[in-house]
Each structure stands twice: as C-alpha cells, then as structure tokens.
C-alpha cells in the first residue's frame, strides 16, 4: 500500500486495522484536499469557493460512544452533565485491547 504525506511511519494505516487499500494520503493541506476530492468526484465547489462534500448518512461518532477518564484531574474541571465517564482502570483495559488488535 502506498502512503503519502507527512505522518509517523510507526503508525501506518495497517496499525489502525485498515487493510486492502490502494493508498493512504496523510495530513493533506487545503490545496491537496481540494485537488484530490474534486478530481475524484468526492466534492464540489460552492459559489463562494468552499469545498462541499456529502459524507453520507453515518458520519462522526455518537456522543454515546465518547468517554472521559474521571480522575483527580478531571473530576472537578470537567462538566459532567451529558458527558460519560470511565475509570482509569477501564481505560487501561480498553487501550490494551486496542493495542492487541492493532498489532494483528
């Protein structure tokens, strides 16, 4: 797989579980994003020159999928209404599981 753009080679696309890709473009600036997306029919330009893309029905992450570690640092400084918390131990378990699967 060809990877272009500025990125940390130790964390290539394969480390994120992405497989069977022709290529990955990392950290494009605005001119490169415009050129790539327009050339591939992934976006159009608005009358004012803004890049407009339809990202589909399922975009971003659900707020219900976001968690913040609640500890001595965040307990009093975080606004918890509407935000979900996990313990440091829960985070460590999730992070270890992620690393296990990222390594293949």
Domains contained in the chain, number = 2
Range of the domain at 48: 2-52
Q: Kindly state whether residues 40 and 78 are assigned to the same domain.
A: no
Per-residue model confidence (pLDDT) at position 12:
77
Q: Kindly state whether residues 77 and 40 are assigned to the same domain.
A: no
Q: Kindly state whether residues 45 and 74 are assigned to the same domain.
A: no
Q: Kindly state whether residues 40 and 67 are assigned to the same domain.
A: no
Report the predicted TM-score, pTM, of the whole model to 2 decimal places. 0.45
Pairing of strands 23-25, 2-4: parallel
Q: Kindly state whether residues 9 and 48 are assigned to the same domain.
A: yes
What is the enclosing helix (H) or strand (E) of 38? Answer: helix 30-39
38 contacts: CB under 8 Å, gap ≥ 6? 44, 45, 51
CA angle 70, 73, 77 (to 5 degrees): 85
Question: Quick one: the chain helix, strand, coil %, rounded to 5?
Answer: 35, 15, 50
Any domain includes 58: no
Q: Kindly state whether residues 48 and 6 are assigned to the same domain.
A: yes
pLDDT 10s per residue in the chain (104 long)? 778 777 777 777 777 777 888 888 888 889 998 999 999 999 999 999 999 998 777 767 677 788 999 999 999 998 888 888 999 999 999 988 888 876 65
Q: Kindly state whether residues 43 and 68 are assigned to the same domain.
A: no
């Amino acid at each position: 797989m060809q990877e272009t753009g500025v990125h940390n080679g130790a964390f290539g696309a394969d480390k994120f579980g992405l497989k069977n890709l022709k290529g990955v473009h990392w950290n494009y600036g605005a001119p490169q994003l415009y050129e790539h997306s327009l050339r591939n029919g992934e976006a159009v330009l608005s009358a004012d020159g803004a890049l407009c893309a339809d990202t589909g029905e399922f975009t971003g992450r659900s707020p219900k999928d976001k968690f913040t570690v609640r500890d001595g640092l965040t307990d009093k400084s975080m606004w918890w209404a509407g935000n979900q918390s996990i313990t440091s131990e829960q985070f460590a378990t999730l992070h270890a599981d992620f690393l296990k699967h990222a390594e293949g």
